[in-house]
Structure 1
């Protein structure tokens, strides 16, 4: 994807700071039956029961992080909003395998490889150019046989640079016979979609 001055920009960290300042749980992650069902579907979609090193981008309040942690030897969970991370630290305080960091992907990216990367409800905040940069980083970080799990709300949101479908279709274009990824399975629910890809 080439950068274009008319394309939308990645939403900045202060966008999320303001959202969390107005509401501690702005998307009802802790209470919404929709979110609980989606978390269960995400965990059920994991191809393996355990991963040595996992990376969750956009962990927010750490609700899915806490559920994912028992499946991981080490789980790095990151977000751009310090207010969200404060809640995540409290929620994951008794999970020694979880490390939480303030990190802005793709401008910042951790070292090392991860055999599971979770991109849940975060890809549509990136501009098309940043999505392309992030995809290159993620694919380079996955070892052969490593898994990339994508979960995104599909209805368009006025503030967001991309739709969930655009994010998933971009990654699925890399799952051609000669591409770096293999599409293992996917499912479209009423308001979100979930796709699991594997590094060739």
Structure 2
């Protein structure tokens, strides 16, 4: 199975403007609140959100970031995100498919939320290295993923997080700062120390 292509997400968003109910779901609202609460710094200079979809979490992040680059593989949800975030001049929205595309700048926060399991293992490893390479020393990397098995996703949320755990520890580029698990999702915060 290859990584899920952009056309997969185009089809999902053609069927619904908000296919995962980001705007209305109590589960998503609680997860977003937990995501923001997990960030151990109150403020970030330059953040990168991978998989912003229609921009619900992006809008919440604007209160914590001087600059935010929000990207998604599909252009369709970005139309909604641009409208939602039009009042926030610090936000840049771009179509970008990770890991084949990656911004050429450094960030003090990278957020990978509900995206990693769309990639096959080799692509996830490439994405992980790109994130590490573009994370400032002392910067934070936050992962949040649904953990139940989904038949058409190449990986599970736990498999995604374990790949990043392998890059954490003594002599490795990442330090695991905190983690939590609910019955539906897992959240892990890392920092880059070298």
Candidates 12, 18, 22, aligned match of 1:19: 12
Distance 1:73 1:174 in 2: 28
Q: How many residues align?
A: 193
What residue in structure 2 maps to residue 38 of structure 1? 31
What residue in structure 2 maps to residue 75 of structure 1? 68
For the aligned residue pairs, the C-alpha RMSD in angstroms reads: 0.5
Distance 2:137 2:8 in 1: 36
Unaligned runs of 5+ in 1: 1-7
Distance 2:27 2:4 in 1: 24
1:128 is aligned to 2:121: yes
Following superposition, the deviation at residue 128 of structure 1 comes to: 0.4
SS at match of 1:156: coil
What residue in structure 1 maps to residue 185 of structure 2? 192
Unaligned runs of 5+ in 2: none
List structure 1 segments (4+ residues) > 4 angstroms apart after TM superposition. none
Following superposition, the deviation at residue 70 of structure 1 comes to: 1.2
TM-score, with length taken from structure 1:
0.96
Following superposition, the deviation at residue 176 of structure 1 comes to: 1.9
TM-score, with length taken from structure 2:
0.98
What residue in structure 2 maps to residue 149 of structure 1? 142
